[in-house]
């Protein structure tokens, strides 16, 4: 968990590199899920936006973000409190200068973070579907990659103050987050909440009378295929994260992979059952949300729990997720088309907590609670403030006419499915 | 209301930092950390409540 971790052998270096080359499948899967859960008139904007966001995040992280996320160039920016040194930012080279001559472990750490930030910025993109303008989405990706993610990554993964809670304050081994449940998913999920708050609901979503209007995703195949693709990426992320951040031995990787799969499977089963009981038939989009919630939970737990514990944590995530999606829409009037707030933020927080409960170390639960308090107490207000300021400069929301004709025609001038009739808002109250 | 809730949340974070520094003993530390999370949950609840729009309101 720290820069004093043992050096990688060539075999482990090659193994982590191969895993990280598979990890982008989680990004592809999430892009497909986001697109499928949105409406057909915004499908091309969603996919192009995904590529643009990932590109912007990668560029900004390479130019600035990696400097602050760094954990290998000395202690970084620090301050002293209670007789201990607290590292709050890295002091790595700007624009990745000298990257080629760094050790294998350092290079792989940067590559992991590079992929992680790309995944994190895609999470709010799905929540703003059908009304969030692409330029604003790209700007938020750049801000997250340059000003928020690097600090959270440094605190969590390298020599940051959360990672060193164990050494400094006897709290287990410090904050545990091998697969990025906090630095990626909770950050992305809380960003999604900020976007939904600032952009507001889609027109017609919450009519003056009656229940909220159902606006189902336009392509269940994209969504469910995306879930399958995401599994491969998640297996790679969790395994690579265990080797890089938890100092796991390669012999532990089969358990990590099994835990990841078990967590997702248990979560899907729970969501399948609960939607079958509540609606009479299983709901495809909620089951996809349940599957993803299980994967997100495994991001925190896969490297530190037993297979049966992974099953239990996943099952609980799968039970809670569909109920939370429904609660947020019906009781709180949050229009979150991809369910990212429930799937990524809530399940990520649950996974971090469960890792503390099940980890067999004294003080680990306290470290996890500190991490959760940091994500909720600092990251959400900070992200909201940054997005609120950005909305003043680059308005998040498309105008009413743009939303009515669809984001494809409004922003790209052409639709994703030109041969098909696009339904207008007339059908909505 | 919107912003009051979000301003309360960092207070919960500073309570968590206080728990780390002031309580080396695990039991009161966990208790204090749970209190900090309760403060954050309260702030989140207020922020959520403040962001709820009247039904039927149209945004441009």
Q: Pick B21's closest partner by Cβ from A82, A333, A400.
A: A82
Task: With beta carbons under 8 A apart, name residues in chain B contacting A200.
Answer: 53, 59
pLDDT at residue A181, as a whole number: 97
Mean pLDDT to the nearest integer, B10-20: 97
Domains of chain A (ranges; CATH) run: 10-428 (1.10.3430.10)
Q: A377 and B33: CB-CB below 8 Å? A: no
Residues of chain A above pLDDT 90, percent: 86
Mean pLDDT to the nearest integer, A395-420: 92
Judge whether residue A5 has pLDDT over 70: no
| φ/ψ of residue A175, rounded to 5 | -60, 125
| Chain B, nearest residue to A193 by Cα | B48
Angle at which helices A149-157 and A104-127 cross, to 10°:
130
pLDDT at residue B52, as a whole number: 85
* Cα A55 to the center of its chain, rounded Å: 16
pLDDT at residue A69, as a whole number: 94
Q: A206-215, A265-274, A342-351 — which is least confidently predicted?
A: A206-215
Judge whether residue A6 has pLDDT over 90: no
Judge whether residue A108 has pLDDT over 90: yes
pLDDT at residue A426, as a whole number: 55
| Chain B, nearest residue to A198 by Cα | B51
Structural domain boundaries of chain B?
Answer: 2-51
DSSP H helical ranges for A128-248:
134-143, 149-157, 165-169, 187-199, 220-245
Judge whether residue B54 has pLDDT over 70: no
pTM above 0.90, yes or no: yes
Going by pLDDT thresholds of 50, 70 and 90, the confidence category of residue A3 is very low
Going by pLDDT thresholds of 50, 70 and 90, the confidence category of residue A73 is confident
Judge whether residue B60 has pLDDT over 50: no
Judge whether residue B18 has pLDDT over 70: yes
Is any Cβ of chain A less than 8 angstroms from the Cβ of B25? no
Q: B53 and A203: CB-CB below 8 Å? A: no
Q: Which long-range contacts (CB under 8 A, 24 or more apart) does A274-277 make?
A: A274/A318, A274/A319, A274/A322, A274/A323, A275/A322
Q: A326-330, A416-420, B42-46, B51-55 — which is least confidently predicted?
A: B51-55
Is any Cβ of chain A less than 8 angstroms from the Cβ of B1? no
Q: A5-19, A110-124, A234-248, A333-347 — which is least confidently predicted?
A: A5-19
Assess contact for A282 and A275: CB atoms under 8 A.
Answer: yes
ipTM of model = 0.94
Q: A333 and B16: CB-CB below 8 Å? A: no
Judge whether residue A2 has pLDDT over 50: no
Q: B60 and A81: CB-CB below 8 Å? A: no
Minimal CA separation from A345 to chain B, in Å: 13
Residues of A at the B interface, defined by Cβ within 8 angstroms: 81-82, 165, 169-171, 197, 200-201, 203, 206-209, 332-334, 362-363, 365-366, 369-370, 372-374, 376-378, 380-381, 384-385, 397, 399-400
Judge whether residue A428 has pLDDT over 90: no
Give dist(CA A292, CA A115) in Å, integer: 18
Sign of CA dihedral A184, A185, A188, A191: negative
Q: B6 and A200: CB-CB below 8 Å? A: no
Q: A289-293, A330-334, A364-368, B32-36 — which is least confidently predicted?
A: A330-334
Going by pLDDT thresholds of 50, 70 and 90, the confidence category of residue A359 is confident
Is any Cβ of chain A less than 8 angstroms from the Cβ of B27? no
Going by pLDDT thresholds of 50, 70 and 90, the confidence category of residue B57 is low
Task: With beta carbons under 8 A apart, name residues in chain B contacting A369.
Answer: 16, 30, 33-34, 36-37
For all residues of chain A together, what is the average pLDDT? Answer: 93
Task: With beta carbons under 8 A apart, name residues in chain A contacting B59.
Answer: 200-201, 203, 397
- To probe the interface with B, which of A373, A374, A396, A400 has the most B CB atoms within 10 Å? A373
Mean pLDDT to the nearest integer, A256-267: 98
In this predicted model, what pLDDT tens digit does every residue of A216-253 receive, in sequence order?
999 999 999 999 999 999 999 999 999 999 999 999 99
């Amino acid at each position: 968990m720290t820069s004093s971790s043992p050096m990688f052998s060539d075999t482990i270096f090659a193994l982590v590199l191969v895993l990280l080359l598979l990890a982008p499948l989680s990004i592809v899967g999430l892009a497909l899920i986001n697109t499928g859960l949105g409406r057909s008139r915004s499908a091309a904007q969603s996919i192009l936006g995904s590529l643009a966001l990932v590109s912007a995040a990668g560029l900004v992280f390479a130019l600035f973000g990696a400097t602050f996320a760094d954990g290998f160039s000395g202690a970084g920016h620090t301050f002293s409190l209670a007789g201990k040194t607290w590292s709050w930012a890295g002091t790595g080279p700007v624009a990745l200068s000298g990257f080629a001559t760094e050790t294998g472990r350092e290079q792989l750490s940067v590559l992991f973070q590079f992929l992680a930030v790309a995944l994190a910025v895609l999470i709010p993109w799905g929540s703003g579907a059908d009304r969030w303008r692409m330029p604003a989405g790209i700007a938020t990706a750049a801000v997250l990659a340059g000003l928020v993610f690097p600090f959270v990554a440094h605190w969590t993964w390298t020599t940051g103050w959360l990672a060193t809670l164990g050494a400094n304050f006897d709290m287990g081994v410090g904050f545990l987050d091998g697969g990025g449940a906090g630095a990626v998913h909770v950050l992305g999920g809380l960003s999604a909440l900020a976007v939904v708050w600032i952009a507001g609901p889609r027109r017609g979503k919450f009519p003056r009378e009656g229940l909220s209007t159902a606006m189902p995703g336009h392509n269940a195949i994209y969504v469910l295929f995306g879930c399958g693709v995401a599994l491969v990426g998640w297996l790679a992320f969790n395994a690579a994260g265990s080797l890089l951040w938890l100092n796991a031995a390669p012999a532990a990787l089969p358990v990590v992979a099994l835990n990841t799969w078990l967590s997702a499977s248990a979560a899907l089963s729970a969501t399948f059952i609960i939607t079958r009981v509540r609606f009479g038939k299983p709901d495809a989009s909620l089951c996809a949300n349940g599957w993803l919630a299980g994967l997100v939970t495994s991001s925190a737990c896969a490297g530190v729990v037993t297979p049966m514990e992974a099953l239990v944590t996943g099952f609980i995530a799968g039970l809670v997720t569909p109920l939370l999606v429904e609660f947020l829409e019906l009781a709180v009037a949050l229009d979150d088309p991809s369910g990212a707030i429930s799937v990524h933020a809530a399940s990520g927080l649950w996974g971090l907590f469960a890792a503390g409960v099940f980890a067999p170390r004294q003080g680990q639960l306290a470290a996890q609670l500190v991490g959760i308090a940091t994500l909720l107490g600092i990251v959400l207000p900070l992200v909201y403030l940054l997005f609120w300021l950005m909305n003043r400069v680059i308005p998040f929301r498309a105008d009413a006419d743009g939303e009515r004709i669809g984001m494809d025609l409004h922003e790209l001038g052409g639709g994703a499915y030109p041969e098909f009739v696009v339904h207008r808002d007339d059908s909505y109250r | 209301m919107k912003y009051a809730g979000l301003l309360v949340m960092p207070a919960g974070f500073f309570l968590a930092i206080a728990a780390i520094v002031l309580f080396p003993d695990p039991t009161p530390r966990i208790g204090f950390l749970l209190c900090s999370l309760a403060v954050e949950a309260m702030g989140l609840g207020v922020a959520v409540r403040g962001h709820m729009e009247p039904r039927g309101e149209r945004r441009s």
